[in-house]
Amino acid sequence: MNEFWTEELEPGYYDLKFSKGLKSKRGVQSFWHLGTFKKMAEYLKPDMNHLDYACGPGTFIGMYTFGNSFGVDISENQINYAKLNYGDKGKFDTLENFLNYKEKDSYDLITIMGLIEFISDEEILRLNEELLKMVRKGGKLVYTTPNFRGLMFFLEIALNFFGKVNYSDEHVNKFSRKKLKNLFYDSTKSYKIKNFINVSLFFSIFSHSVALKVENIVDKLFGSRFGSLMLIEINNV
């Protein structure tokens, strides 16, 4: 990953965006994160050892976990922000430091949100292999990534225009459900792919609460077949 993520991106950028959206109770980007965090939080239990890999500014650990979470990120700037703002909710360290003391079979759950679209297939498979070594038997790795067969194509254009991040420059991988399935098929024994955040995304422009209701209705009617985001659940069997 390039220097944009380690040096150029403002410390706490995504946390501040998310907090602003929560206060106004509307906004597409904040709803994107809200939906992601809520979906990931479904996997958490109070007695779990949890690693949030590529934790960014620590928002997920700070707002949704139970105190047994550890966040690592490539950016020292984001980790410093996480320690300052969420240090009472979990532990945080840079990826460079973490690699010096990581241990096998240490975690019940590892979450990886919004990372694999920024790295190559080869890097994803190497990462998956290393993370599986850290997950206890019966534990899970859970990734999220945009679905570029959905609304993400249009959302990327809007985010590039209105935001500070040019995602067209940063995205290395643009996944569809089929591409994800092909990527993990040979390397992973047990996995599931689910879609979430459907047409509700449009309603989030006006109201998060309305968008969440739409999300639930569409999900009940059609299940996890549609959505702008994909979740990959990998079981360490």
pLDDT at 160: 66
Spans in the chain with pLDDT lower than 70: 1, 150, 153-154, 159-163, 187, 189
| Count of beta carbons in the 10 Å neighbourhood of residue 229 | 23
Site of tokens 């092909």: 182
State how beta strands 229-235 and 135-146 pair. Answer: antiparallel
Given this model, what pLDDT does residue 162 score?
Answer: 65
Task: Write down the pLDDT at residue 189.
Answer: 67
pLDDT given at position 44: 97
State the CB neighbour count (10 A cutoff) for residue 65: 25
Paired sense of beta strands 91-94 and 107-113, if any: unpaired
Domain count within the chain: 1
Given this model, what pLDDT does residue 4 score? 82
HEC per residue, 48-103: CCEEEECCCCCHHHHHHCCCCEEEEECCHHHHHHHHHHHCCCCEEEEHHHHHHHCC
For position 232, what pLDDT does the model report?
95
* Full domain range(s) for residue 216: 3-235
